[in-house]
Chains A and B, each alone.
Chain A
C-alpha cells in the first residue's frame, strides 16, 4: 500500500506525458535524418547528418544561440527581481488591493501577438508611439527601439508579458509566510532588510525556482514576438534559435532541417536546465 498509492497517483501524468513526448520526438529524429521537403513530396532519401550540418553551419547559428541565452537570462532576472518586489509591495492589505492585483496580472491575459504589435506600434515607434511622445515631452530624441536595441526591445516586451506570471506565483507563495515567525524576529530586533533576507527570501526560494524553470522553458522557444516585431533583424541581432528554425526551415518547408534545428534546441534547453537546476534546484525540495 505504501508503495502502490504514490505510484498510482503519479501514473496518469507520467504515462500521458510519456506518450506525448515520445511520438513527436521519434518522428522528429526520423525527419531530421531524411530529406523531407514539403515542396518535393515523395523524395525521402536518407540524409545522414546533412541536415544537422546545414543547420549548424549557418553563420547565424552561434549568434542565435547566444541571443537565446541572453534573452532568457535578462527576462528571468527582470521578472524575478521585479516580481518579488511587487509581490512584497502589495502583500499587506491596503485600499484597492484587489484591483491592483488584477491590474498587475492583466498583461498576461493578452495574446502574445497582440502584445508584440501593441508594443511595436503603440509604444515603441519613435514617431507616433507613446514612449516617443514621452521622450519628446522631456526634450530628448526618441529612442528608435527596434532599430538600435532590437534584442532589448524584445526583452522588454517579454518581461512585461511574464512579470504578471512571476508576481502571481510570488503573491500566492507569500500568503503562506509564517507571520508569527516574522513578529518574533521583529521583536528580537531584526530590521526590514534582515527579515527579508533571512525569512522572506528563503521562503520564496521554491517559488522562485518554479518561476525560473517554467520561464526558461517558455522563453527558450519564443517565436511570435520576434516574428511580429523585428523579423530577427536588423541583421541577425534579434534572431533566436526558434526564429532561426523558422527562417531556415519553415520558410523553405524543409521539414528535415527544421527537425534537425529542433533537436539542437532540445539540446540547448537541456544544457540550460542542468545549469539552472544547479543554481536553484535545491530550493525545490
Chain B
C-alpha cells in the first residue's frame, strides 16, 4: 500500500515537471560486482539528493524472466534493468529501450569496442556495461612444469589434449581438465559454442537453418566428450561455473577453460588453495581462432516504460563511469573493481599490478567480435549464443543433449541429431523458414 502512494506521489511530482523526488527501482543480477554496487548506494544518494535507490536482486534466470515480462507488458515496475549482451540487440531493435545519454566526462569511447558494438543500435548506445568478460584457459603452472611441459600462449585443442592427458593424475586427486557440463544456453552451451566456433562451425547458416549435425559440431563435441570422459572429474555433466571453481580452488583441476572472472577467484588466497600456482593463456583454437573465446557483459538499461528516465540516466552514468571504478578501487582495492568494460581500467598501473590476468583478459575481450565470430558467415549476432529470442529454448534443449552425450547416455551423433531436430522445430515455429 505504501508503495502505491509513493508511486502516485512520484508521478504527480514529475507531472509538475520538477523531477526532484524519485524512487529508482533497479532490477539486477546477484553477482559479486552488483552486490558491491548496492553497498555504495549511500554515496550515490548523497551526490544526487532526491533520488532513492531500491534494489531487486535476483538469480539470472528469474531476473531475465521478470524483466522481460515487465518490459513486454509495459509494466513499469522497473526503472533500471540489468540485461545481458544477449538481450541488448534484441530489445534495442524492438524499440523497448531508451538510449543512454553520455557526456564528455563519461568518455564513451573508453568503453571496449567489442562490447560497445554489441550494445549499440544504429550508432546509439542503448545499454551501459558495468562488467564484461571473455573466456580463457586457466591452468596449474606447477603441474605442467612438473611434467616438463610448457603451455603455448595460443594453444590448439590438439596441444591441449596432449597436456591434459599428461597432467591427469586421479590417484593424487588431480583431474586433467574441468569444463562445464550442466545443461543451459548460458551454461555448458556457452563454452561448447566457442569450441564449435573454433572447429569452424556455426549455429545457423545464412538461411537460418540449424547446422548442428555437421562436421565441425561433430568434431568439437567428440573432442569434448572424449577429453572429459578420460580426464574430467566425476559429476562433470552437472557442473557449472561454481562447481568447477570449487574444484579448482581445492586443487583438483589441472586445466579450466571458463569465464575470465574466474581468474580473480582462483588467484585469491582467501578462497583458493592454489592461488600462487595459476597461469593464464588464450582459449584453445582448432581450425580457426574466430569465436574461440566468448564475449559477455552485464549492462544497465532503461526501459521506455520507466517512470523516472532522467533519474535512471543519472544512476546508470554514475554506475558505469570511471569515477565509480575509482570508488571501488579505493574501498576494496584494485583487485575488486568490475573489469571488462573500459580501456582505462586496463591501462591503470595499480590495476595491472594486482591483476595478473589483466593482460590475457583484455586480449580475450578485444579478440571477441559478436558480429563476426564464425568461420562461415552467420546471420546472427553473438559469440557464444545467437541473439534471437528462440535461442534460449534451443540452447537449453541442445545443452541437455550435450550433457547426455557427456554422461554416456547417448552417442555424440545421436545427441547431435536430436539437437538438430529440436532446433529445427523451434526455428520453424519462429517463422524463420517454412519446413
Contact = CB atoms under 8 A, between A and B. Distances in A.
A–B proximity contact (CB within 8 A): yes
Interface of A: 37-39, 41, 54, 57-59, 120-121, 125-128, 142, 144, 146-148, 227, 229-237, 239, 247-248, 250-253
A146 B243 contact: no
Interface in B247-290: 247, 250, 252
B238 A230 contact: yes
B234 A126 contact: yes
B135 interface: no
Looking at A54, A126, A147, the one whose CB has the most chain B CB atoms below 10 A away is A147
B68 A253 contact: yes
A127 B252 CA distance: 9
Interface stretch (B40-48, B154-162, B182-190, B292-300): B182-190
A236 B400 contact: yes
A128 B69 CA distance: 38
Given A233-B404, A235-B410, A41 B73 contact: yes
Contacts of B415: 235
A231 B65 contact: no
A252 B393 contact: yes
A233 B403 contact: yes
A231 B187 contact: yes
B407 interface: yes
Contacts of B407: 147-148, 234
Nearest to A231: B183
Contacts of A57: 425
B409 interface: yes
A277 to B, nearest CB: 35
B406 interface: yes
Given A247-B393, A247-B396, A147 B72 contact: no
A251 B183 CA distance: 13
Which of B72, B184, B187 has the most chain A CB atoms closer than 10 A to its own CB? B72
**Nearest 3 interchain pairs by C-beta:** A235-B404, A146-B238, A38-B72
B422 interface: yes
Nearest to B70: A38
Interface in B56-89: 61, 65, 68-69, 72-73
Interface of B: 61, 65, 68-69, 72-73, 90, 94, 182-185, 187, 233-238, 243, 246-247, 250, 252, 389-390, 392-393, 396-397, 399-401, 403-404, 406-407, 409-410, 415, 418, 421-422, 425-426, 429
Given A41-B73, A59-B418, A148-B407, A233 B389 contact: no
Nearest to A146: B238
Q: Which of A58, A148, A229 has the most B CB atoms < 10 Å from its CB?
A: A148
Contact of B400 (A54, A127, A146, A231): A231
Contacts of B421: 59
Contacts of A227: 61
B396 A38 contact: no
Nearest to A58: B425
Contact of B238 (A142, A229, A251): A229
Nearest to B400: A233
A42 to B, nearest CB: 10
A229 B397 CA distance: 16
B250 A128 contact: yes
A146 B234 CA distance: 10
Given A125-B235, A146-B238, A59 B422 contact: yes
Contacts of A252: 389-390, 392-393, 426
Given A127-B233, A148-B407, A250-B65, A234 B72 contact: no
6 contacts: A38-B68, A59-B418, A147-B237, A233-B403, A234-B183, A252-B393
Given A41-B73, A54-B429, A231-B183, A247 B397 contact: yes
